[in-house]
Amino acid sequence: MLKKICSILLITVAFASCTKEETPLTVTPDDYNNAVDKVTEVIIHDIFSPPVASRIYAYSNMAAYEVLVQNHPEYKSLAGQIHELGETPKPDAETAVNYDVAALVAQMEMAKSLIFSEDRITEMRDSLYMQWEEQNPTELAASKAYGLQVADHIKAWMDGDMYKQTRTMPKFSVNPDNPSRWQPTPPAYMDGIEPHWMKIRTLVIDSADQFMPIPPPEFSMEEGSEFHKQLMEVYDVRNAMTEEGDDSEKMEIAKFWDCNPYVSTHKGHLMFATKKITPGGHWIGIVKIATKKVNADLMETVYVYTKTSVALFDGFISCWDEKYRSNLIRPETLINQYIDDAWAPVLQTPPFPEYSSGHSVVSGAAAEVLTQIYGDNFQFDDDTETAYGLPVRSFDSFRNASSEAALSRLYGGIHYRAAIEEGLKQGRQLGQFVAQNLQMKSNTAQASN
């Protein structure tokens, strides 16, 4: 009798599990924002350089976009537009793929393959998988398989971008006998970061030197020369700045756009890093702010992240090409050597040559893409830096934000004016090129946007 009752119970449980209704899976724009935020968190934790961080953002967003575009005919694939990127594989017609889920799977898989702290992405991924498995295991299996298939497609293409080869190339050689050439700066005196980044395959621009800026002012420590004037401007602006008073906003602007992942703090014999967001990460944060403000759906959200991150990626290649060509010495080095050995900038000088300004280039590039998408009078409140104890700053447009980001480098004491102004031009020209040449929406969709 007991065996009979147990058999009936087992059959009942089995029947209930077989007839359990599966709930369609959903992925919201906030789910995707959270996944991108997790990437930013890991980039900060692992202390990736600004150029390398841009690569992580670009490839992970591109993978998600290439999944979603299969289900959105109003958008265009990146295949044939991004250098050497072939057609994205299609899912099997018989499988019930949820493209939104597959896109998030692809994004997480790509991000996990590009960072060190894989466990941080894996933990988020497994939590989502557990929820989805409970709701609809059939849909999850099909969507997961397709998301991983697209991620593998992007990985195979990514392998040809020269990144692996640059890992084994020699360090940058400093020339201490040439007074105009870059030298490592305090307090850590780090080697020049990513001296071979210009060899990385571009995404949309034709070559690393396509938007090469004019040369910096000719090096001269003679009073009255253009170079010496710009050096003294950095010195004088810093000396006039205070935490309070008329120049207090300059201090706020400098700190708001710091975005230096290499800040070192020294206490006695101890040295430790203060981890911060990168310049690209700041603009990825602005993408989140903009898409949330317009209540963008998932497809639009991923589209904006992707196009912006492509501009950031190409922007860093363009900028680093010029940095290690002109190889210009930083203001801090010259001021300490020739003017005031006790002088220090507001911001720590990052470990690479001065010209052109990286923040100016990538801010200009990102702002042009975002302006193409949302217009030139897009007001937003930038809370990207609140995690670092900095107040919200408000802007009337993306271009205004990029102008302030560029000027922050003068206030921070880490760039001459030429690097700022020419860097901003360089970035805006590059951003306009990406905006015009990377066609991710059909003409009909663009007209209705």
At residue 95, the pLDDT reads 84
Q: What's the pLDDT tens digit per position in 278-328?
A: 999 999 999 999 999 999 999 999 999 999 999 999 999 999 999 999 999
The topology under which CATH files domain 175-448 is Vanadium-containing Chloroperoxidase; domain 2 (1.10.606)
Whether the Cβ atoms of residue 148 and residue 105 lie closer than 8 Å to each other: yes
Query: Hunting for tokens 């997480």 — which residue is that?
Result: 108
- The closest of 444, 155, 443, 426 to 315, measured between CA atoms, is 426
Q: Do you find a cis peptide bond into 356, omega within 30 degrees of 0?
A: yes
Q: What's the pLDDT tens digit per position in 324-375?
A: 999 999 999 999 999 999 999 999 999 999 999 999 999 999 999 999 999 9
Q: What φ, ψ does residue 265 adopt, rounded to 5°?
A: -120, 130
Q: What φ, ψ does residue 107 adopt, rounded to 5°?
A: -60, -45
Q: Residue 448: pLDDT above 70?
A: no
**436 DSSP 8-state letter:** H
**pTM to 2 decimals?**
0.93
At residue 273, the pLDDT reads 65
DSSP 3-state assignment of 272?
strand
Burial 174-208 (b: 16+ CB within 10 A, else e): eeeeeebbbbbbeeeeeebbbbbbbbbbbbbbeeb
Whether the Cβ atoms of residue 326 and residue 215 lie closer than 8 Å to each other: yes
Give me the torsion for CA of 204, 205, 206, 209, rounded to 10°: -150
As a whole number of angstroms, the distance between CA 102 and CA 69 comes to: 11
Of 117-121, 215-219, 405-409, 445-449, where does mean pLDDT reach its minimum? 445-449
Domain boundaries, the chain: 25-164, 175-448
- Token pair of 389 as six digits: 């104890």
How large is the average pLDDT for residues 206-223?
Answer: 98
As a whole number of angstroms, the distance between CA 187 and CA 172 comes to: 19
At residue 275, the pLDDT reads 73
Cα distances from 101 to residues 27, 54, 108, 270, in angstroms, run 6, 24, 11, 46
- Token pair of 10 as six digits: 């087992």
DSSP 3-state assignment of 318?
helix
Q: Which amino acid is at 127?
A: S
Where residue 348 falls (left for φ over 0; alpha for ψ -120 to 50; beta otherwise) is beta
- Token pair of 83 as six digits: 């250098």
As a whole number of angstroms, the distance between CA 131 and CA 425 comes to: 47
pLDDT-derived band at 449 (thresholds 50, 70, 90) equals: low
Q: What φ, ψ does residue 350 adopt, rounded to 5°?
A: -70, 160
User: Does CATH number 2.40.30.160 belong to domain 25-164?
Assistant: no
CA 187 to chain centre: 26
At residue 17, the pLDDT reads 45
**337 DSSP 8-state letter:** I
What share of the chain has pLDDT > 70, as a percent? 92
Angle between helices 99-114 and 137-158 in degrees, nearest 10: 40
Cα distances from 258 to residues 47, 262, 281, 431, in angstroms, run 15, 11, 12, 22
Kindly report the length of the chain: 449
How large is the average pLDDT for residues 8-24?
Answer: 56
